[in-house]
Chains A and B, each alone.
Chain A
């Protein structure tokens, strides 16, 4: 057995690759629509006056964030887990019937949740908490999906042949634990239908409505402890898991330093959780908690940069690979954007900088250099690496991939530079006083100046979406081509240098 090459089972990985792409398209398309709605409000009526309730900016915005986070990103995380997990633990899913059943249950239940989220958000059923909009029935389903995911992870780990856990697995485990803890606490809510008996009536109002267990400032505190760390355990930790596997694997290089991985990992785990206070600067939460948020944000630069530097150093002496392979370019640029946004975040977490940045488009810029440049690039790179191996076919077109790389890079740059300028401009205009000491601008003045930047952002986002469609097409053509690979490729991708 040990001498025969393992046949990994990629059934579940393929399923999640599919949702990664579909939900990526949906989420980003909505993002582009949102961007143009802010530049040209007429787009709110894109499907006519009659459907305006469902197509206006405010109804669509949570759909965008949830589609890209819980749809695109999480699917990417699941897809890569079901690929990477087997390989670095040296065990095939096919070896356990139970794991296959769990995997499939994971996927189908996840789809059910996605469908109910789409329907409920379109209908306006939301609790308003950012990235935790779902009402309690969906919360329960989410928890079930998550428990299955956990059983999948630990089940596979339980039957592993490779005794020691690879770095990526550390990060997947942390993703599982982190989200589990955060999600539970932030979603403590009382369904109102259980509380109506006092009036001698049962089931008053809508059955799915609930009210938060926390109020006001406390609610804010829990929400941003969650919100900040949802970024940590959704947009950072699992993506780091990906780069730690796919970059060395694709390039054939060994990880630059185990010690650096170690310190970065435990450092990140410890420091990240404290930084949530930076979303509440100058709010009514106590000063000391805000200060804590700022301090830990600054310290957080180092464990974040640790992983990025480790990746860049892994490519030491390998410039020819970077130059030749668009796939490696994606990953190198991803770690660059990761460094960029993890320096930008701490700078915005400094209290006086946040005085300008908070509530403005500079934050939206920060968000998207992270999610487009880092999360998006890494997920696409991972799928590009997986596709030839799970479908046993060469990537359809390398030149298409290279073109896509440049189009999307331009898109990201347009996105974040325009939002930067927009945010800083708006932040300064809000603060400006005229020569008499009165406010210099009415609010609407600070909105109309942003028009050109909103338009540029829309174009940038559109370019990114076009690139993503090229990616989808490339993968589609790859999987539907005639089978050519009969054996597993060991190192470089078919199109590698």
Chain B
């Protein structure tokens, strides 16, 4: 049979294709049937957080940082509760990473703070002597892309029914509503409100001034995102 296949390239190719597609059919498809449902306490990203997530991706922080706490005592001691599938329901793309040159960030919002991130992103080695993380100073002047974040929110709300403007259950039994603007202008206003809260905890005068002027530097969005990782 194989000898025959080797003389008939078309059937050879079909044979190869069947053999290699088999695994995908059996391993990948079934899991889509039970698409991951958000666990209680997982809310969609706000506009500012999503813009921060884009800053994170743009700078490939995932090259050094994972966002996946494995169920080992040593990891839950260091990072907090192990990851649950439903916690990633709104993550498009997922950001688990594959290398921990730096620590996991899955729950970094629990044990690092705005002012610490500010110092750290400006000059990591000044806070953590011996750190090999690059400094990200340009984030203090470049502006975050709120429009694109808003476009993404609209997309996921339309196509994947991500519950914006709807109550989502929180761990303490309450509900939270993540606001989605009706227009670009409104989205920018919502993001700016959030940015003001972050900037209030920051020290950098240029950043504070920028936010006061109605601009949102990348660092503010990034910190909003990092703080949301819980």
Contacts and interface: CB of A to CB of B under 8 A. Distances in A.
- A/B contact in complex, CB under 8 angstroms: yes
Interface of A: 37-38, 41, 44, 49, 52-53, 56-59, 61-62, 124-130, 154, 157-158, 163-165, 170, 173-174, 177-178, 181, 185, 190, 192-196, 198-201, 204-206, 209, 211-212, 214-223, 225, 262, 266, 269-270, 272-274, 276-277, 279, 282-286, 289, 292, 355, 358-360, 363-364, 430-433, 438-439, 443-444, 447-448
B105 to A, nearest CB: 11
B53 to A, nearest CB: 10
Contacts of A432: 74
Interface stretch (B134-142, B198-206, B221-229): B134-142
Interface of B: 2-3, 6-7, 9, 12-13, 16-17, 19-24, 27-28, 31-32, 35-36, 57-64, 66, 68, 70-75, 77-78, 83-103, 125, 128-138, 145, 147-152, 154-160, 181-184
Contact of A165 (B7, B60, B151): B7
27 contacts: A58-B60, A58-B134, A59-B60, A61-B60, A62-B60, A128-B57, A164-B6, A177-B16, A195-B151, A204-B150, A214-B92, A216-B90, A221-B27, A221-B31, A225-B24, A266-B2, A276-B27, A284-B85, A285-B31, A358-B98, A359-B98, A359-B99, A359-B100, A364-B99, A430-B74, A433-B74, A448-B130
B102 A216 contact: no
Contact of B148 (A128, A206, A289, A359): A206
Given A196-B151, A211-B155, A215-B160, A277 B27 contact: yes
Q: State the 4 A-B residue pairs at the shortest beta-carbon distance, nearest first.
A: A216-B88, A205-B148, A273-B23, A195-B155
Given A209-B152, A216-B88, A289-B27, A438 B77 contact: yes
B202 to A, nearest CB: 21
A128 B62 contact: yes
A177 B17 contact: yes
Contacts of A201: 183-184
A386 to B, nearest CB: 24
Given A129-B93, A433-B74, A124 B20 contact: no
Nearest to B74: A431
A126 B77 CA distance: 33
A128 B65 CA distance: 12
Contacts of B132: 37-38, 41, 447
B72 A41 contact: no
Given A177-B16, A192-B148, A289-B27, A215 B36 contact: yes
Nearest to A180: B17
A218 B62 CA distance: 18
B151 A52 contact: no
A270 to B, nearest CB: 5
A41 B59 contact: no
Nearest to A160: B9
A52 B135 contact: yes
Given A52-B134, A158-B9, A292-B27, 5 more contacts: A170-B6, A211-B155, A218-B36, A269-B19, A447-B130
A468 B31 CA distance: 44
B151 A192 contact: yes
Nearest to A269: B19
Contact of B31 (A53, A217, A444): A217
B2 A195 contact: no
Contact of B94 (A177, A199, A215): A215
A266 B147 CA distance: 50
A285 B95 CA distance: 14
Contacts of A277: 27
Nearest to A173: B13
A198 B181 CA distance: 12
Contacts of A216: 36, 85-92, 94
A436 to B, nearest CB: 12
B59 A173 contact: no
B83 A283 contact: yes
A273 B93 CA distance: 22
Nearest to B58: A124
A440 B69 CA distance: 18
A40 B108 CA distance: 26
Contact of B20 (A127, A190, A273): A273
B133 to A, nearest CB: 7
B54 to A, nearest CB: 8
Contacts of B64: 57-58
Contacts of B62: 128
Contacts of B148: 192, 204-206, 209
A173 B74 CA distance: 46
Contacts of B72: 282, 355, 431
A88 B77 CA distance: 59
Given A61-B60, A212-B92, A443-B102, A270 B19 contact: yes
Given A181-B17, A209-B151, A218-B35, A282 B6 contact: no
A242 to B, nearest CB: 18
A269 B20 contact: yes
A30 to B, nearest CB: 13
A417 to B, nearest CB: 19
A340 B34 CA distance: 38
Contacts of A430: 74-75, 78
B184 A204 contact: yes
A57 B134 contact: yes
A110 B89 CA distance: 36
Given A215-B91, A269-B19, A286 B31 contact: yes
B96 A198 contact: no
Given A216-B85, A217-B31, A444-B128, A211 B184 contact: no
